[in-house]
Chain A
Amino acid sequence: GAGVSQTPSNKVTEKGKYVELRCDPISGHTALYWYRQSLGQGPEFLIYFQGTGAADDSGLPNDRFFAVRPEGSVSTLKIQRTERGDSAVYLCASSSLGSTDTQYFGPGTRLTVL
């Protein structure tokens, strides 16, 4: 079946602008994760949803970052007042059971803040 999809694949924006990044998880997966990967580094956790609720948002770097998953499927990561340091690849992953199951990753959105 279809894997995790993310749109857009690339996003270039200017400092101070607002951006939204979308994730479509694998159908039926209840758990959804956002990670951020900077160049030359491993992915770093941002937030985890179980169903519609954020079960763990301890990785969000500050209050400019926010994520929603209103119907328990598609999720949107929102970044306000973007800064150059936000430039990275934003990865989404989903899993069927949550904390103990394998996470399947999407291709990522490469965000560049000029």
Chain B
Amino acid sequence: GNSVTQMEGPVTLSEEAFLTINCTYTATGYPSLFWYVQYPGEGLQLLLKATKADDKGSNKGFEATYRKETTSFHLEKGSVQVSDSAVYFCALPAGGTSYGKLTFGQGTILTVHP
């Protein structure tokens, strides 16, 4: 089945710094790719997604581009805020006969200091 490898954390940044969280995938075909975020004390929320190769997903200043050449979907933000402190998960459908089942990375903890 499909799988995802996510950059290990934790990541600690100062406010207004540039953020990159790496995510690479192994997949059959070109499934949709997702970034989910989990803020402290809250549930998982969809941050952004891309449904086909070369698509760019964006939301709340975050961006990720579906790159089939490098099988990557890295998350970026130009200027992070304290409120971006959270755990970020890269995910994709498991593939094969696993209809709808998502496979997640292990998560990257981001802490942003003022």
Contact = CB atoms under 8 A, between A and B. Distances in A.
A58 B95 CA distance: 13
Contact of A48 (B43, B91, B99): B99
Interface residues of B, number: 25
A103 interface: yes
B94 interface: yes
B43 A107 contact: yes
Interface residue SS majority, chain B: strand
Interface residues of A, number: 29
B43 A102 contact: no
Contacts, number: 69
Contacts of A105: 36, 43-45
Nearest to B34: A102
Contacts of B46: 102-104
A21 interface: no
A99 interface: yes
Interface of B: 6, 32, 34, 36, 42-46, 49, 89, 91, 93-94, 97-107
